[in-house]
Amino acid sequence: MKLSKVLFWDTNYDTIDWDGKAAYVIERVVTRGTMDDWNQAREYYGLTKIKEVVLNVRSLDKKTHNFLSVFFDLPMEEFRCYKHRQSIPQHFPY
């Protein structure tokens, strides 16, 4: 795969195990990648694998969470990040 090297700034890009670290790679692509990165990951892993990974990601920003919910036609409540976000108490809005 030819993903943006910027996504993996903390890792040696040439030694990434694309199959063994699929969850790590997919999470980086959906949260920080470009549309080209998304298309390459979708072609390499397939939508089934991507869906499986993103449903179990612990933390997603709201924009990415909403995009994935619409893209996979799933309710936002099915994502682990939604359940995790709900379990963290928020400050009382004055």
User: What does the pLDDT look like over 38-65, one tens digit per residue?
Assistant: 999 999 999 999 999 999 988 888 899 9
Q: Does 8 fall in a domain?
A: no
How many Cβ atoms from other residues are within 10 Å of residue 32's Cβ? Answer: 15
pLDDT class of 87 with cuts at 50, 70, 90? low
Residue type, 56: N
Domain that includes residue 54, residue range: 17-87
Assigned domain for 28 exists? yes
| Whole-number pLDDT of residue 38 | 94
Neighbours of 54 (CB within 10 A): 25
Whether 92 maps to a domain, the answer reads no
pLDDT (tens digit per residue) in 21-33: 999 999 999 999 9
**pLDDT of 39:** 94
